[in-house]
Structure 1
Amino acid sequence: MPEQVHERGPEREGGAGGRRGRRGPVGMFGLAEVYNPSMVPTLRPGDQLVVQYGAAVRPGDVVVVRHPFRQDLLIVKRAVERRDGGWWVRGDNPYVVNDSREFGTVPDELVVARARVRVRPPRGIQRSPLAVVAWALSAVRPLRADRSLSRRLRAR
């Protein structure tokens, strides 16, 4: 099953889940929610992403793209490299193949946004201030190409 993302916020239009939503204004930020495991361990189902519409994409960035065969479906992948015709994208989970290995390059016009920050929702109720601080330190992470798990693994 494809990695599914739902846009949230004022920049979407259309029905629930970001279906047929348009790109937000360049530079505008929005929220997206991850629903499937193709980006594990970087992203897990339930994670929230702060995304920037129209941001420049570099190899290693996590991006939200429209699926080339089902453009009403938004997916989250890692931009691996530029190729003729667009971006080659892959998931970080080696067991999920729904990426450019299946559908080829993603044209630039289908790249919706670049993910900037991942926010992992808390598990259970945080009862103490120390637990809230511990959650905040582990849950909120910038998504930077130079610090990604997959980039470190490829370098070995």
Structure 2
Amino acid sequence: MKNIIESLEDFLNDQIDTGLKIAQITKWGRQNTLKIDILLKLKGGFASLQDCENVHKLVLIWSKKENIEKNLNISVQSESINKILFDFEDFEENIGKKIKIETKTKIEDRRNFTGFLKQIKDGIIYLKSEHENLSISFDQVKKAQLLLI
């Protein structure tokens, strides 16, 4: 049986336009309220206000279909200029750009790394910082984001 996030993500992916992608779905619940935050991304740009409104309407349709009886608090937004990198494709699209990576565990006594993304190959992310070349396993990434220079 699918959990709420998997069910919603499958439903939205079947309904939304090509090019638009669900980057992240987060849910919180408290007693009779369910809060759902959705982050959209659009290849080569940002999701429009209309895209966000359309996805919001789709969440309402999904909630009726799934008989969600809790009060819904839905937030749909486009990723910002400080883009979060979620998957291999995100990293590949940003080769040569400055990024910040937070790792799940310490590597050489630290968890935060900043540098220019040189490549991603065989599950390894290669960064060049001012003082060193770094290689970090994709599986070690807790969070990564594009930085403005």
- Taking structure 1 as the reference length, the TM-score comes to 0.25
Higher relative contact order (CA 8 A, sep 6+): 1
